[in-house]
Amino acid sequence: MISLTDRYLAATLRTVPAPRRAEIADELRASIADMIEGRTAAGQDTTAAEREVLTELGHPDRLAARYADRPLQLIGPTYYLVWWSLLRRLLTIIPALVGVAVGVLKATVEAQPHEAIGAGIATAFEVGVQIVFWVTVSFAVLERTRTPLDLPEWSVDQLPDAPVERDVTLTDTCASIAFLLLTLAFLPWQHYRSWVSDADGDNLPILDPALWTSWLPVLAAVLVASIGLEIVKHRTGRWTWPLVGVNVVLNLAFALPVGYLLLTDRLLNPALVERFAWLREDGNMDMSTNVAVVVVATISIWDITESVVKARRHNR
């Protein structure tokens, strides 16, 4: 039967560099035997002594790492800060850039605008994962080869400006952008894959398809500009009066066309109204329109008021 000591030695020596393996094996075996002997001499049972000694020596991989003088961390203090700042810099720019590029290509060259946003997000995510993986692997290799980086020493000139007081949290910004992206995605989605179908079972757009050559591109542009506003606002850290001004303009640029289209019965697809008898019944269409106008107006007024209140609170 193979003894516990043999198994322990095998487990330890597995990861010790080959040229030193035999000698470390002989020495460690002798040391373990000495330790066991020390305990049996004190009257302990051999089996129990062996268990205790091996437990005291601890995890074989840890002991092997000490023999080989190998780090037990993926990226140690020497490289950690460089790794982290490089990763942050790459992740803030590249995935978004590639994602937007892929989305635009999909929408224009491949003429599939309804897949553009999904493709862009998927590509951005993939690129992000790849960046994290390869940067981390490179630094883990540097850690193990102990390559000196020869980076310039840190100096006080690198200190960032004092942070501005933050009114705008990252969570808020992300939530707003996610909502805007969903709204943006809704435009092509409702055209190609709404949940309504006509009498032949074909897809029935919810919004009037005629609007694609007039108002829908404008609304989409306003949504994209709103995303830009969210990003600028987050970078500034708070509502400033110029930002409030832009916010008012964007809100009006969205709410007024939507309200106008609703009130002139041009927003919904006429074929959709045709398909739902309820909408054609007396007064129902007018009521739905009024409710929708009030909702759009409330959201816009709420958003504008909130920005004004926050800007005033900060500038007081």
Structure tokens, 17:
């560099």
Q: How far is the CB of 68 from another protein (least distance, A)?
A: 9
Looking at the Cβ atoms of 29 and 314, the one nearer to another protein is 29
Looking at the Cβ atoms of 63 and 250, the one nearer to another protein is 63
* Residues at the contact surface with another protein, assessed by CB under 8 A: 20, 23-24, 26-28, 30-31, 33-35, 38, 56-58, 62-63, 66-67, 69
Looking at the Cβ atoms of 17 and 245, the one nearer to another protein is 17
Q: How far is the CB of 114 from another protein (least distance, A)?
A: 58
Q: How far is the CB of 154 from another protein (least distance, A)?
A: 25
CA separation for the pair 28, 23 (Å, rounded): 8
Looking at the Cβ atoms of 30 and 93, the one nearer to another protein is 30
Q: How far is the CB of 313 from another protein (least distance, A)?
A: 43
Q: How far is the CB of 20 from another protein (least distance, A)?
A: 8
Looking at the Cβ atoms of 43 and 163, the one nearer to another protein is 43
Q: How far is the CB of 22 from another protein (least distance, A)?
A: 12
Looking at the Cβ atoms of 64 and 243, the one nearer to another protein is 64
Q: How far is the CB of 143 from another protein (least distance, A)?
A: 19
Hunting for tokens 């989605």 — which residue is that? 189
Looking at the Cβ atoms of 66 and 235, the one nearer to another protein is 66
